[in-house]
Amino acid sequence: MRHFAVVGSGPGGFYTAEALNKAYGDTARVDVLDRYPVPYGLVRFGVAPDHQSLKAVSKRYDTTADSAGVDFLGNVCVGPDVSIAELLDLYDAVVLAIGAPHDRKLGIAGEDRPEVIGSAAFVGWYNGHPEFAGLAPPLGGSHAAVIGNGNVALDCARILSKTRSELAGGDIVNHALEALEKSPIRTVTILGRRGPLQISMTPKELGELGHLESATPVVDPADFPPVEGDAVLEPGQRKSVSLLREFATSGPDESKETRIVFDFFAKPVAVEDGKVVVERTTLDDAGRAAGTGETYDVPASLVISSIGYSTPPMEGVPYDQRGGKFLNENGKIADRLYCVGWARRGPTGTIGTNRPDGQEVAAQIESAMPPGSSSERKGTGGLKALLATRNVMPTDYDDWRRIEQTETANARPGSPREKFVRVEDWLKALGR
């Protein structure tokens, strides 16, 4: 037998487990570890709650988890509960699929003020992540600002702008639904340090802003260069830019009370009481944002910084400070130690991008230790014995099914589930 540990049960982890299971069949055991008793990582805690069709990919992960040869060990936090060195002793290969759950820093004055919230925290709050369930973002003002021009910035702006009836059918947690319903925020300014042609927003997500019940996008036609320049953009980007152009041409729908304002060439330089101080930029020859020295204020009593994520460093694992990910070569960190997904590439790409990523690392493992070869490593049994000495009780996929049933039963009408937002509540649902 071979024994493999995959750390993290998000898309990267499950696609790797699937590929290893396919390659080795019943000649290897693949343990998928997660610090929480619930699986799916980014799919549960990151994907927007009003994008249920994207979350349906979890069915595929269920199939992997149900395969003979794959086990889920939840409630095991690699680091405090078991070290990487111990895992490498117990398993033939260890694959880190821990994602990129930390917010990158803006590096501007006022960033530590309480009204400045990273998108990982804000998204975690409305998605019921236990670390952020108690966040209480300041939603009491009329203006919010979202910094960044990626899809996560769009998610945050959209969730702030949707009505209760638009949100209630998804799996947004009740505490967020109720707080957002009461919020008087009516202007959400999305700050992009570069221009409309440099956005990192995809057409489907951008297009949604044109169909909101009571919110309307506001785009300034003066921000665009001549349309002929769009020809050099790749097709997806061209589509996104043409959507922005349509928003600019049609102008805001004045019958809608919430405005989602795209403020381009706007680089935040400080957050002060009730406002973001922004410097006007132009594009330099390399396409970077160059400050012009002209500043102005954007009113905001809530500021969401959505400028990308990083992977937390782990003891004993070489780390790329600049890239905010593990130092690796095509997923290989060291002998028998690998990484996949955002921990490998940085926070880019869609959920599906993680599939070839996991397959590639599984293929490397396969070539280093061909199916049919074996080792004396202790695998699952050894890990469970070690954890027992530390009073750590792993949960399995049947436990998750029981939690899932309770979450489904607790759902408000029309919603697929009401998530538990505290580790204790998950364990209580299991009678622990």
What residues line the site for ligand NAP (CB under 6 A)? 106, 147-153, 155, 193-194, 198, 200, 202, 205, 289, 306-309, 347-350
Structure tokens at 278: 């922004």
Report in angstroms how near the CB of residue 52 gets to ligand NAP at its nearest.
Answer: 12
186 three-class SS:
coil
Report in angstroms how near the CB of residue 329 gets to ligand NAP at its nearest.
Answer: 22
Looking at the Cβ atoms of 137 and 148, the one nearer to ligand NAP is: 148
Looking at the Cβ atoms of 153 and 173, the one nearer to ligand NAP is: 153
Q: Which residues contact 351 (CB under 8 A, 6 or more apart)?
A: 11, 42, 43, 47, 54, 57
Looking at the Cβ atoms of 307 and 343, the one nearer to ligand NAP is: 307
Q: What residue has token string 């490498």?
A: 88
Q: What residue has token string 């699986």?
A: 39
Structure tokens at 400: 């998750």
Looking at the Cβ atoms of 16 and 151, the one nearer to ligand NAP is: 151
DSSP conformation letters of 291-358? EEEEEEEEE-SEEEE-S-EEPPP-TTS-EETTTTEE--BTTEEETTEEE-THHHH-S-S-GGGHHHHH
Cα distances (Å, whole numbers) of residue 158 to 123, 180, 189, 214, 254: 12, 11, 11, 11, 18
Looking at the Cβ atoms of 342 and 420, the one nearer to ligand NAP is: 342
Looking at the Cβ atoms of 95 and 146, the one nearer to ligand NAP is: 146
Nearest-CB residue for ligand NAP: 150
> Distance (Å, rounded) from C-alpha 266 to C-alpha 278?
6
Q: What residue has token string 């595929």?
A: 60
Report in angstroms how near the CB of residue 42 gets to ligand NAP at its nearest.
Answer: 9
CB-based contact 196:249 (threshold 8 Å)? no
Looking at the Cβ atoms of 202 and 242, the one nearer to ligand NAP is: 202
Report in angstroms how near the CB of residue 380 gets to ligand NAP at its nearest.
Answer: 33
Report in angstroms how near the CB of residue 277 gets to ligand NAP at its nearest.
Answer: 13
Buried b (16+ CB within 10 A) or exposed e, 12-24: bbbbbbbbbbebb
Report in angstroms how near the CB of residue 378 gets to ligand NAP at its nearest.
Answer: 37
In terms of residues, how long is the chain? 432
Looking at the Cβ atoms of 98 and 289, the one nearer to ligand NAP is: 289
Structure tokens at 377: 């490593």
Looking at the Cβ atoms of 309 and 338, the one nearer to ligand NAP is: 309
Report in angstroms how near the CB of residue 191 gets to ligand NAP at its nearest.
Answer: 7
Report in angstroms how near the CB of residue 346 gets to ligand NAP at its nearest.
Answer: 9
Structure tokens at 153: 């910035």
Identify the CA nearest to 297 among candidates 312, 277, 274: 277
CB-based contact 128:288 (threshold 8 Å)? no
CB-based contact 298:283 (threshold 8 Å)? no
Dmax of the chain from CA atoms? 70
Report in angstroms how near the CB of residue 270 gets to ligand NAP at its nearest.
Answer: 12
